[in-house]
Chain A
Amino acid sequence: MEYVSPEGLRLDGRRPMEMRQIRAEIGAVAKADGSAVFEMGNTKVIAAVYGPREVQHRSQQMSDQALVRCEYSMANFSTGDRMRKPKGDRRSTEISLVIRQTMEACILTHLMPRSQIDIFVQVLQADGGTRSACINAATLALADAGIPLRDLVTSCSAGYLNSTPLLDLNYVEDSAGGPDVTVGFLPKLDKVTLLQVQNLLNCVILGRFSALVVGKMDSKLPIDTFENVMQLAIEGCKAIANYIREILLENTKQLEYRRGL
């Protein structure tokens, strides 16, 4: 199957290095301490943050830092066919863990001991890149909740099909069986916090990254090509970080205006 035409266009008409249109909205859930909606193309997720608040299970309370919990779930109608088990299945549990670890790394948990921070993400429409969209939404929701962060975390995916590195895969490209790299990036510190690679063989890495997960082995990818793909994903993350910063600045201006400052 052809994922990149001879003229260099992808199935949805994008160029290989072109990201889908992103849109974000802060404060969608009035009841939550912080919330955000994040869209990447047709993928749409909503994140809500509750906390810092009292720990639900006393036994899990930590005396020197906050407990961070995360739950990822997909709405029944988010995919083409109605999903039977939107959460509690292995994929959702794994993604919940990935998001929790990524966000935990950037929250200054030592400032809120003996408390709990809950991050809930709900996928409303799934068209590839759901975990990236969830991480971006979670970052905005945490900022909206006023939780102290070390840095924003932004995430983007990239892959390699028809010998071309592609940025921000949609569902069809993601299911093609080629390697798929998801990166979680801290823009200010210029560090990669999450690197998740799927469908990759013979991957040899490297001391720079704090987290690395290698998925099932299907296709070959020479190491410098992998570096290109990863670099492309990082560029995507930087672009998203700029957009997120704009949204947060705009939001702050609105708050100032409403308070009459």
Chain B
Amino acid sequence: MGLLDASGDLSSEIEVDAFRCLFPLRFYERHLAESIWPDGSPLGRARETSIAPGAVASADGSALAKIGSTVTVDFHMPPICSPIVRPGRPAEAAPVFSKQLSDTISSSGMINLKELSLVSGKAAWMAYLDIYCLDADGALFDAALLSAIAAFSHLQIPAVSLNDDDPTAEEETIMETVVTVVLDSSSQLISLYKPGGAVLASTSAVQDCIALTRQRVRELLKILDEANSSMEVD
């Protein structure tokens, strides 16, 4: 169990779990001091990522519209995904992510809107992208963008990839701030987002984030390629 000793008997396990619940900040700080995550992996490593394109067979959804070709992005967080989302109280983060994803996709230019046009000036395809979060354990934007890209690649449109180390939901509640970096496949910077707050990010911190992202981009491109080539074989 990482830093704290797991002597195997139940009493020490309970202590660790109680400590984690009662003093989450100190729990994580003790691990970070040794440069590891609670599960023992080194800090540079992100969580296991996998993509399954074509997961929903009924959706190849595009609809015919009278004018203009657009991509509408909708991010849904149904009550399934987290204990804090309830039917009467939708997640505040959902429309924020919808907007962020929409902006990222349009500013990156990863979709050539001209390709969606059918009869110039008269008819064009409208692409609807619906993302459903089924299990919210932090890094929602990352996962959402990755799935959006995988879905578009499945439709054969050039891809964009992203992002940083993935914090879990538990970590996000004690985090002071988050920096989101989006790079494309040639490591050009697409967007940088740091929401306002008490913590100031120094230049070196931001540069560290960008370097980490560059490394992650390489990993993700490889995963995307593997997923796409396995789809073609089928």
Contacts and interface: CB of A to CB of B under 8 A. Distances in A.
B58 A125 contact: yes
A104 interface: no
A151 B60 CA distance: 40
Interface string B68-112: 000000101011111100111000000000000000000000000
B137 interface: yes
A243 interface: no
Given A50-B83, A77-B56, A79-B58, A122 B88 contact: no
Nearest to A96: B87
A82 B132 contact: no
B136 interface: yes
B128 interface: yes
B58 A46 contact: no
B80 A122 contact: yes
Contacts, number: 77
Interface in B123-179: 128, 130, 132, 134-137, 169
Interface size class of B (residues with CB under 8 A): 20 to 34
Interface residues of A, number: 32
A174 interface: no
A48 B86 contact: no
Nearest to B8: A260
B134 A122 contact: yes
B79 A118 contact: yes
B232 to A, nearest CB: 22
A116 to B, nearest CB: 10
A48 B80 CA distance: 5
Contacts of A71: 79, 87
B59 interface: yes
Interface of B: 56-59, 61, 63, 74, 76, 78-83, 86-88, 128, 130, 132, 134-137, 169
Please give me the 10 A-B residue pairs with the lowest Cβ-Cβ distance, nearest first: A77-B59, A48-B80, A76-B130, A120-B79, A29-B135, A120-B80, A82-B61, A71-B87, A125-B58, A122-B78
Contacts of B136: 31
A30 B137 contact: yes
Contacts of B88: 56
A50 B81 CA distance: 10
Nearest to B132: A75
A216 to B, nearest CB: 27
A77 B61 contact: yes
A4 interface: no
